[in-house]
Amino acid sequence: MTSRYESGLTKLNELAPGAADSMMDTFRDVCPDLAKYTIEFPFGEVLQRDGLDFRTRELATIAALTAMGNCQPQLKGHISGALNIGCTQKEITEVILQMSVYAGFPAAINGMTAAKEVFELLDDHDAE
């Protein structure tokens, strides 16, 4: 195991506890290296970098995924992750709302629906 893998694992677990195991498990039989690369490059290199704090990085990712509009599972994962590292629900919904300007209202509405589903799931967990 490379040190990029190990530090990526730590970073990913900070954002989404259990996600690394789940991703390794999902892709074990089809393409385990996709999980390995995901841990090594985005989490082990890019998101480790100085010059921009992790919270702002997650808000930037939420902006991009909302605007692209074709990767709802990842958008939900990053909304949940952003909350885990200290972003507020308000910061997240403001970023998504702002995308109505740059990517149109359907993108913003679908992004906000993703946020609503994540928030409600977490509320249900908290209520248990």
Residues at the interface with a second copy (CB under 8 A) = 23, 26-27, 29-31, 33-34, 37-38, 41-42, 45-47, 49, 51-52, 56-57, 59-71, 73-74, 88-91, 93-110, 112-113, 115-116, 119
* Burial of residue 10 (number of CB atoms within 10 Å: 0-12, 13-18, 19+): middle
Confirm if 112 and 96 have CB atoms less than 8 A apart: yes
User: What is the spatial distance between Cα 113 and Cα 96, in angstroms, rounded to a whole number?
Assistant: 10
Give the shortest CB-17-to-a second copy separation in angstroms.
19
Which two three-digit tokens encode residue 65?
């995924």
Least spacing, CB of residue 37 vs a second copy, in Å: 7
Residue closer to a second copy, measured from CB, 17 or 106? 106
Return the number of the residue (84 or 110) whose C-beta is nearest a second copy.
110
Phi then psi dihedrals of residue 30, to 5 deg: -95, -50
